[in-house]
Structure 1
Amino acid sequence: MSNLALLTIGIYFLLNLVVTLTNKQVVSETSCPYLLTATHVLCTLITTDLISSFSNKPIDHPERTWRTRFTTLSFQAHTILVCFSLLYTINIAISNLSLGLISLSLHQTIRATAPAITVLLSITLLRRPLSSYSLSTYLSLVPIIAGVIFATTLPTLDDSASHGQETPSFNGIIITLSGAVLAVLKTILTNTLQSKRTPPRTARPASSLDLSLNLSPTTLIRYTAPFAVIQALLLAWWAGEIPRLHRVIVRNLGNAIPAATNGRVLAITAINVFAAGMLNIASFEANRRCGPLAMAVVANLKQVMILIIALWVKDDDGGCGWRVVLGALMTVVGGAWFACAQWKGERGEKDRESIPR
């Protein structure tokens, strides 16, 4: 990977960590995950417009205004983008639903297979040959996935009893697995929509998935964010979050909660929303530069980092701290191995292109 690619994916990792750590606190205080999602997307749209307004020219295309750019897309392209935003919303809804059906450890275990699912979907949907990934890349995914599974299968993380079930239901596993597949599909489509169409001489088979629109990250956000906000608000209305948030606000204004607590919640919420706005932009940019598989690997690294932070904050680890540390070490080593394999692959490709024909 280039230095710029490493920088973008590093920023994405840090922002993702901040959003994940603060999300749980905000949702636990408000119980409004869909409204929070709508706020995140709206903040992303505002941040994108602010970045564009501070530039001398529109950051998406130097010769066109945003209004002109919007009207140049075909009806088919707009249809694709509406479906893409709908996929984002459905993925969030299924993720929230699956958390209530199975234990947290099993949920994280299934989510840890995202790199393998990414490879599988890339080969089946995009018709990428098996040789498109090197043997080192395939082998590096083993510790990346196994490390997360090893670290998350802890008795202290198994909260199945809190959901009133001793064993996970078949429906819960299927829904969680579907959510993992949709999350990977979302990442792949994010990359595809930002890529150029394949030239005719190297065109993919007709059965492959080619939805390339050659959109920049900011342009893609501007198209999809309004749809996503509307969909998230509809889900929030359906889930009864709007009156629920009203009750929370009335309770807080009634001094039922100390002022210091209110200030802490507001500060955490502000940090969460701002970080989420920057995260979505960084996510699209990192995906464009590094690819879906790298994004899945970083997601696994984030999982073990969350566990390490939880282990550091919590005084009593239940005697399972060594599993978290060992699992995190396995994942980090696998991540370094993956980065090295990617770098060697890109260097080899550049060397082959430099050979005169």
Structure 2
Amino acid sequence: MSNILWISLYFFLNLLVTVTSKRVQTHIESAWLLATSHAVATFIVTSLLSWLRVHTAPNGVPDGQRGKDHGDIHQESLEPATDPRQHLTKNAHILIPLSLLYTLNIVVSNWTLGLVSLTMHQTIRATVPAITVVVSITILRKSWRDYSFGVYGALALTICGVIWAINATGPSTSDVGSVSSTTPSGFAWTFFGAILAVAKTIAANHLQKPSHKNRWGLGLSSSVLVRYCSLCSMCTTILVASWNGEVERLISRVKSTQSWIEISWLWLWSFNALATSLLNIASFETVKRCGPLAMGVASNIKQVAILLLDFFPPTKHDGSEQHAEAGYELICGSLVTVCGGSWYALASVRMSQRQRRYFTEDGMVAGKHG
């Protein structure tokens, strides 16, 4: 049940951050400063949690799962608590590359938005679950049989549903002025960004496992791991925002305002940064409990939810037949995505039960021979 709560929290925080980030960006027009605020807020919140000795992950594992490794569908236990500073000095060769990967993922994601059309960017991002499976099989040496046919079918429905919904709506009115065409290099970089996103979630999943179950496992809590990543991201984004003039433009804009009412959006920005810090913690905890594949499915469902919120306010559209047809296709694509997500949840539960029976029977056989 706790896994469901965490992935639900991740979904709603992701939805909230996406909506508020879009509104904040229209006011500040500084993508790097927005990323900086997210990193600063995340570092402050995780440092506060560390100071209070509050950790997001419990020391135990759910009943019925102790001693088993179910990959994408379970929660791992943590190793005994260790001073984070000892982890940093002892495992710098692992934590520093992860922090750079975390930051590079943000950089490439922001940059590729200006290389391809928004529709193409969303379409490529919708394929993240499929990329996760391919990376797991080709690089992590998992067998394709580790995933049931139900999982493959659910992923196909989820991806196709999102792509259907994306292409039904076309560019929104808020995206006027963005890139309207896609070049081969833009497509390649955007696809590379999707691979980076997958690599980040897989790395976060492995590093939060105990070392006796994974050679890369550090047994760190989600909040501690996010703290290291946000520190690197904070330093990088501040440097870039200062270099490209975003900091100077923001300062001059604030100085030119006549009253605090004119910059009330700062409250929205602060709220957005706080929500993002909670989202970062929730995302790392969710990927540890539920796995990278479940994260990709949840992100696709969030994507169609954003499309629905952006498309259906009546003040934004007329009652033309073309709009009605686009709305019908959007609803159909969203329903297909939700059905795929539900199917994936059921298939994951069945796969977990099957693996649990296998490990139980294997343990009984080993006990008899012993």
- 1:138 deviates by 0.6
Please, which of 220, 236, 247 is the counterpart of residue 225 of structure 2?
220
- Pairwise CA distance, 1:248: 2.2
Q: CA deviation at 1:353?
A: 2.3
Using a 3 Å threshold, how does the CA distance of structure 1 residues 248 and 139 change in structure 2: closer, same or farther?
Answer: same
Q: How does 1:128-277 map to 2 (within 5 A)?
A: 128-154=142-168, 156-157=170-171, 162-163=177-178, 167-197=181-211, 211-251=216-256, 253-255=257-259, 260-263=261-264, 265-277=265-277
1:162 CA drift (Å): 3.2
Question: Distance in 1 between the 2:248 and 2:47 partners?
Answer: 30
- Do the aligned residues in 2 keep the contact of 1:58 with 1:64 (CA within 8 Å)? no
**1:1-357 alignment, distance < 5 Å:** 3-55=1-53, 68-73=83-88, 75=90, 77-154=91-168, 156-157=170-171, 162-163=177-178, 167-197=181-211, 211-251=216-256, 253-255=257-259, 260-263=261-264, 265-315=265-315, 316=317, 318-319=323-324, 320-355=326-361, 356-357=364-365
Contact 1:52 1:59 in 2 (8 A): no
Answer yes or no: is the 8 Å Cα contact 1:144–1:334 preserved in 2.
yes
Residues 59/185 of structure 1: CA separation in 2 closer, same or farther (3 Å cut) = closer
What amino acid is aligned across from residue 32 of structure 1 in structure 2?
Answer: S
Question: What's the C-alpha RMSD, in Å, of the aligned pairs?
Answer: 2.5
Query: Structure 1 pair 185/64, CA: closer, same or farther in 2 (3 Å)?
Result: closer
Give the C-alpha shift of residue 65 in structure 1: 8.1
Find the aligned partners of 1:115 and 1:69 in 2 and give their Cα distance. 32
Q: Determine if contact 2:158/2:297 at 8 Å carries over to the other structure.
A: yes
TM-score (norm 2): 0.84
Greater Cα shift, 235-244 or 288-297: 235-244
Q: Matches of 1:289 and 1:149 in 2, distance apart?
A: 27
Q: Distance between the aligned counterparts of 1:86 and 1:314, measured in 2? A: 43
Structure 1: gaps of 5 or more residues: 204-209
> 1:341 corresponds to which letter in structure 2?
A
SS in 2 for 1:214: coil
Mapped to 1, the partners of 2:57 and 2:170 lie a distance apart of 47
Contact 2:38 2:273 in 1 (8 A): yes
Contact 2:169/2:311 (<8 A) preserved: no
- Count matched residues: 337
- The Cα shift of 1:26 comes to 0.9
Identity of matched residues, %: 37
239-248 or 171-180: which moved more? 239-248
Q: Quick check: 1:45–1:225 contact (8 Å CA) kept in 2?
A: yes
Give the AA of the match of 1:281.
I
CA contact (8 A) 2:30 2:246 kept: yes
Distance 1:349 1:164, change over 3 A: closer
The aligned amino acid for 1:152 is I
Q: Tell me if the contact between 1:105 and 1:154 (Cα under 8 Å) persists in the aligned partners.
A: no
Equivalent-residue separation in structure 2 for 1:297 and 1:223 (angstroms): 26
Structure 2 unaligned blocks of 5 or more: 60-78, 366-370
Q: Over residues 28-82 of structure 1, what are the superposed CA-to-partner deviations in whole Å (9 max), with x where a residue is unaligned? A: 2112222222221221222223334445x7778999887x43125555x213211
CA distance, structure 2, for counterparts of residue 73 and residue 274 of structure 1: 25
C-alpha contact (below 8 Å) 2:118/2:178 kept by paired residues: no
> Whole-Å Cα distance in 2 between the matches of residues 186 and 314 of structure 1?
39
AA aligned opposite 2:231: P
Confirm or deny: 8 A CA contact 1:60 1:219 kept in the other structure.
no
Following superposition, the deviation at residue 219 of structure 1 comes to 1.9
Cα 1:168–1:65 change in 2 (3 A) is closer
Q: Which amino acid counterpart does residue 254 of structure 1 have in structure 2?
A: Q
Structure 1, residues 172-193: CA drift from partner, whole Å, max 9, x if none? 1111111111111111111111
**Within 2, Cα distance between the matches of 1:52 and 1:80?**
20
Secondary structure at 1:232 match in 2: helix
1:144–1:331 contact (8 Å) kept in structure 2: yes
C-alpha deviation, 1:155, in angstroms: 5.8
Query: What do residues 309-337 of structure 1 show as CA deviations (whole Å, max 9, x unaligned)?
Result: 11232541733111111111000000000
Distance 1:58 1:334, change over 3 A: closer
Alpha-carbon separation, structure 1, partners of 2:305 and 2:11: 10
Deviations for 1:88-119, whole angstroms, at most 9, x for unmatched residues? Answer: 22211211221112111111111100000010
Asked if structure 1 preserves the Cα contact closer than 8 Å seen for 2:46 and 2:223, the reply is yes
Distance across 1 between alignment mates of 2:290 and 2:93: 26
